[in-house]
Amino acid sequence: MIAPVIDAVFPIFALILTGWLCARFKLLSALSMEGLNKFVIYLALPSQLFYAMAHARLTDLAQPGFFLSFGISIFTTAGVQAYLSRHSPQHPVDRMIDCMTSGYSNCGFMGIPLCLMIFGSASLGPSIIATLFTVSLLFAVTIAFIELQRNRDGNVLKTLLKILAAMLRNPLLIAPLLGVAISASPWSLPVSVDRYFNLLGEAATPCALISIGLFLAQSSKSVAGDGVYRIVALKLILQPLIAAFCVLFIFDMPSMWALIAILMAALPVGTGPFMMANLYARDASSSARAILLSTVLSVMTISALTAWVTSRIE
């Protein structure tokens, strides 16, 4: 059992360590991290999502139990964080970002590469759906709550239009939707164009993981507080437990989809909350600390979960 776990987990954390070492030895700078992040978010990862959905059979993606299980795990965890922090002296926007942090899995940067290594290309469908839930739906709901908080006496229609515009500018939402349109149409992409998106998409995994390492090296001096410990505990423990309960005892779905729902829910915090804090000019240190601590701890939690997942596959 140990060898499959090492085969699945080692490349993930080795690439993250590579990025960390590159930052420590000043081979790559903060500017490199910014450029690499933009390359992944705007080019490589959207190409991977587009290519996967363009080649997917839409009937194979009709798994409402997966949608509900993963969605329930996200928003229940965020709701628990909201309840536990209800008396916090934090600014309301900061509390909302912390709620987002507690349920925001690193699906695109870590989840997709991990699932590809464990399950192969068949995992792209559920992996992409989990990514869309996180980077689109959770983003949209958080923006909606923040804008409604900031514009209590403002124009509701204007707020809703602002949310819609933010979603339409999100390449991680637009790319797979365009892929779905290609898949549903009677046409297929020319071979040269298809190969272009495939090559560009293949760069997403190593670049994303090295970028995480660069980010962790920049954030390694941050000190976590009690609120951050709670967020990390909710993210790494409560969310996967909720997902596991839903997929194992409530909803029916193929075994691979169930395992991916649990695995995606157990991932460390992604960079989305950090970007959200910067977007609204709030202190991003809480998000940065949660990302750092959860990623470090996930070396143990993800390795243990991968061992369990691998045993279920065999």
How many independent structural domains does the chain possess?
1
Report whether 243 contacts 265 (CB < 8 A): yes
* Single-letter amino acid code for the residue at 103: G
Instruction: Pick the more confident residue, 55 or 98.
Output: 98
Instruction: Pick the more confident residue, 32 or 223.
Output: 32
- pLDDT at position 303 over 80: yes
- pLDDT at position 4 over 60: no
Q: The domain spanning residue 103 has which CATH number?
A: 1.20.1530.20
- pLDDT at position 244 over 70: yes
Question: Which domain covers residue 159, as residue numbers?
Answer: 2-313
d(CA 219, CA 228): 14
Supply the pLDDT for residue 264: 95
260 band by pLDDT with thresholds 50, 70 and 90: very high
Supply the pLDDT for residue 168: 75
Report whether 16 contacts 212 (CB < 8 A): yes
Strand segments, DSSP code E, in the chain are none
Per-residue pLDDT of 13-59, as tens digits, reads 888 889 889 998 989 887 888 888 788 878 888 898 788 778 877 77
237 band by pLDDT with thresholds 50, 70 and 90: very high
The DSSP bridge partners found for residue 105 are 269
Phi and psi of 105, rounded to 5°? -80, 150
Q: Of 135-144, 256-265, 297-306, which has the strongest mean pLDDT? A: 256-265
Segment 74-92 mean pLDDT? 92
Per-residue pLDDT of 174-220, as tens digits, reads 888 898 889 888 888 899 999 999 999 888 878 878 887 887 787 65
Supply the pLDDT for residue 21: 93
Taking CA atoms, 235 is separated from 22, 64, 73, 213, 231, in Å, by: 28, 23, 10, 20, 6
